[in-house]
Amino acid sequence: TSTPPKETIEDKEKLLDGLLVSGFDESSCISRSQSHLYHKSSPHKPSPYLISKIRKYEELHRRCGPNTIAYNEDMKIIANSNNATNVGTTTCKYVIWVPANGLGNQIISMVSTFLYAILTDRIMLVKFGKDKDGLFCEPFLNSSWLLPKDSPFWNVENVPTYQSMLEKEWSNSSNEDIPSSMFVDLRYSPNFEERFFHCDDSQYFLSEIPLLFFESGQYFVPSFFMTPIFNKELNKMFPEITPVFHHLGRYLFHPSNEAWGHITRFYQQHFEKANERIGLQIRVFDPNSTPHEIVMEQLLNCTLENKILPNVFSMKNSSLSSSDKKGTIKKVVLVASLYPQYGEALKTMYINKSTIKGEVIEIFQPSGEEQQKFNDNKHNMKAWVDMYLLSLTDVLVTTYQSTFGYVAKALGNTRPWILYHPITHNNNKEICDREFNLEPCYHYPPYHYCDVDGKVIENFAPSFPYVRHCKDYPYGIKLT
């Protein structure tokens, strides 16, 4: 046997073991060809079958994407018909992703929608407002995933909803009643318990409809693993189940050149010379119910007890400045939080202090927006940069239930420590713990079996071998 030439190995890494396709103009999206130089190399390899499905998807997207003949004709047909009596006359089928919640929620639901599109031979388009302009590169070669701004489907007010069809007992409806487009709300809907999206019957029904809209914010991938008709394909695509998001997320989300500029500048200035890069993601959902002092105390207890951060030696000033300590271990800590006080408190703790083993600890918090903002492009850019920088760390601490943290760990392939709810989790007996895998948690999974009785699912394990309850949000489920 001979060793492959160096370029081949480099190309393989650059294309993430075949997940990405070559042929893009590299200068229009520098991160696509450079991200492998910044991320740890991944032990999780995409299966040849997953790669072949993605190549097929790209081909379909090229044929059916915006401004193709197929797309233009199909959209006219769909816009002009109230029902799908002309089902079969559209050349392609579509699923349009509609945003809900913050950027982390949006990313996990786009990944879910993309997997759905692959499984059902639809193409996925995303409805991006100005708030997401210039955050990501186009993922599909020679095509676009953006729903054109002049699409008649930018406004979905009059599109029939899946929920109203469920109420009409659509399984008995005639073809006449099947609409040509349908809005599927997969958000958390506390008043709507009967969600049967994961059932084969629903999927047969939805497969008739040329255009679907998905509004979510959830990572609903585990529900596909609960849907019998998808099982065979999923097993072939993912012989290893837990890196689903890791593969599909790295396939879809490449920082734009502007985002990549912010990321690589931070990396070169702070991370490059570090012996260890530590990411702390501190998401305080409600400072009234979980005050900052309590969260800070929890963060310190977790990081010091688990030796993620070192204790300081004494409260007196050390005579050594960090630049004097040549040859010492340098740990650089990236703090991601809406609240700047976390970074400041940690800086105060380490500045001019010695640690027991003499490491140098540097703390940086690139942003501190104080509050979550919606429809704000600059704010989203900061969030995307923070999320991505967290994914470049060696040791990661994230916060329970935060999809922001889910994206960081899965892109970076880092099994993080999770900070639990500081007050309610296990009566505060356990403050943090290692996450068991890379998959995001599906916070609001289906509640019912699909058989006629529709009994409530109380324990997932016996019926659905691929899912179990999440540690950070026990009501939710995740792939395992």
Q: Which are the contacts of 103, defined by CB distance < 8 A and separation ≥ 6?
A: 380, 383, 384, 387, 404
Q: Does 382 bind ligand GDP (CB under 6 A)?
A: yes
Nearest CB to ligand GDP, comparing residues 202 and 281: 281
Site string for ligand GDP, 330-349 (x = CB under 6 A): ------xxx-----------
Nearest CB to ligand GDP, comparing residues 92 and 103: 103
**Of the candidates 403, 417, 467, 473, which one interacts with ligand GDP according to CB under 6 A?**
403
Scanning 21-102, the segments in alpha helix (DSSP H) are 30-38, 48-64, 69-80
Shortest distance (Å) from residue 456 CB to ligand GDP: 26
Q: Does 398 bind ligand GDP (CB under 6 A)?
A: no
By CB atoms closer than 10 A (0-12, 13-18, 19+), residue 439 is buried
Nearest CB to ligand GDP, comparing residues 264 and 367: 367
**Of the candidates 31, 290, 398, 402, which one interacts with ligand GDP according to CB under 6 A?**
402
**Of the candidates 11, 138, 276, 369, which one interacts with ligand GDP according to CB under 6 A?**
369
CA distances in angstroms from 330 to 316, 361, 388, 398, 414, listed in the order given: 21, 6, 21, 22, 20
In single-letter form, the type of residue at position 324 comes to: D
Q: Which pair of structure tokens corresponds to residue 446?
A: 């289906």
Q: Are strands 467-469 and 477-479 parallel, antiparallel or unpaired?
A: antiparallel
Q: Which are the contacts of 337, defined by CB distance < 8 A and separation ≥ 6?
A: 280, 281, 282, 283, 284, 343, 365, 368
**Of the candidates 101, 112, 216, 398, which one interacts with ligand GDP according to CB under 6 A?**
101
Which one of the spans 124-132, 238-246, 307-315, 367-375 is the region binding ligand GDP (CB under 6 A)?
367-375
Shortest distance (Å) from residue 353 CB to ligand GDP: 25
Q: Are 94 and 395 in contact (CB under 8 A)?
A: no
Q: Which are the contacts of 392, defined by CB distance < 8 A and separation ≥ 6?
A: 38, 39, 263, 267, 271, 277, 279, 412
**Of the candidates 105, 143, 354, 414, which one interacts with ligand GDP according to CB under 6 A?**
105
SS3 167: helix
Shortest distance (Å) from residue 96 CB to ligand GDP: 20
**Of the candidates 140, 251, 271, 404, which one interacts with ligand GDP according to CB under 6 A?**
404
Site string for ligand GDP, 258-287 (x = CB under 6 A): -----------------------x-x----
Shortest distance (Å) from residue 390 CB to ligand GDP: 8
β-sheet bridge partners, residue 146: 126
Q: Which pair of structure tokens corresponds to residue 61?
A: 């997207």
**Of the candidates 252, 383, 411, 441, which one interacts with ligand GDP according to CB under 6 A?**
383
Shortest distance (Å) from residue 262 CB to ligand GDP: 11
Shortest distance (Å) from residue 338 CB to ligand GDP: 5
Chain position whose Cβ is nearest to ligand GDP = 102
Residue labelled with tokens 């993912």: 238
> Can you tell me the distance from the alpha carbon of 211 to that of 270, in angstroms, rounded to the nearest whole number?
47
Which one of the spans 129-137, 249-257, 271-279, 400-408 is the region binding ligand GDP (CB under 6 A)?
400-408
Which residues are near ligand GDP by CB under 6 A?
Answer: 101-105, 281, 283, 336-338, 367, 369, 372, 379, 382-383, 386, 402-404
